[in-house]
Amino acid sequence: MAEEHVYGYNPTVGVDGDSGDETTSKLRLKVIAGHHLAKKDIFGASDPYVRVDLNTINGDQTVDSALTRTKKKTLNPVWEEEFIFRVKPVEHKLVLQVFDENRLTRDDFLGMVELTLINLPKEQEGRAIPARNYVLRPRSIENDNGDVSDSGGWELVQPENNTPVEQAADITMVTRSLPQGWEERQDANGRTYYVNHIARFTQWERPEPDTTATSGVSEQRNLDTAATEFQRRFHISADDEGRHRNSVVNQI
pLDDT tens-digit readout, 207-225: 887 644 445 555 666 666 6
Sign of torsion, CA 18 19 22 28?
negative
Which helix (H) or strand (E) element contains residue 60? none
Q: Tell which wins on pLDDT, 192 or 238.
A: 192
- Decide if 53 contacts 99 (C-beta within 8 A): no
Euclidean distance between CA atoms 152 and 181, whole angstroms: 18
Radius of gyration of the chain (CA): 29
Note the pLDDT of residue 123.
83
Confidence check: pLDDT of 165 > 50:
no
- Decide if 53 contacts 169 (C-beta within 8 A): no
pTM strictly above 0.85: no
Euclidean distance between CA atoms 189 and 175, whole angstroms: 22
Q: Tell which wins on pLDDT, 117 or 229.
A: 117
Note the pLDDT of residue 141.
53
Note the pLDDT of residue 96.
96
Euclidean distance between CA atoms 88 and 92, whole angstroms: 6
Classify 176-252 by CATH class: mainly beta
Least confident of 84-93, 167-176, 243-252: 167-176
| 13-60 confidence digits (pLDDT tens) | 544 555 555 688 999 999 999 999 998 887 888 999 999 999 999 989
Confidence check: pLDDT of 120 > 90:
no
pLDDT, average across residues 62-83: 96
Which of 143, 177, 137 shows the shortest CA–CA distance to 160?
Answer: 137
Note the pLDDT of residue 186.
72
Domain boundaries, the chain: 6-175, 176-252
Euclidean distance between CA atoms 252 and 239, whole angstroms: 20
Euclidean distance between CA atoms 97 and 101, whole angstroms: 12
Least confident of 21-25, 66-70, 97-101, 218-222: 218-222
Note the pLDDT of residue 170.
42
The C-alpha angle with vertex 117 and arms to 146 and 161, in degrees rounded to 5, equals 80
CB contact set of 164 (below 8 Å; sequence gap of 6+): 120, 121, 129, 130, 132
Euclidean distance between CA atoms 243 and 252, whole angstroms: 15
Note the pLDDT of residue 230.
63
Note the pLDDT of residue 43.
81
* Identical topology for domains 6-175 and 176-252: no
Where helices occur in 46-203 by DSSP H, the ranges are none
| 136-160 confidence digits (pLDDT tens) | 999 875 444 544 444 433 333 333 4
pLDDT, average across residues 78-99: 95
Sign of torsion, CA 143 149 150 152?
negative
- Decide if 110 contacts 46 (C-beta within 8 A): yes
Domain 6-175 belongs in CATH node 2.60.40.150: yes
Note the pLDDT of residue 180.
85
Note the pLDDT of residue 249.
47
| 189-209 confidence digits (pLDDT tens) | 667 788 888 888 888 888 887
Q: Tell which wins on pLDDT, 116 or 223.
A: 116
pLDDT, average across residues 224-249: 59
Of all residues in the chain, the percent with pLDDT exceeding 70 is 61
Query: Biggest alpha carbon distance in the chain?
Result: 127
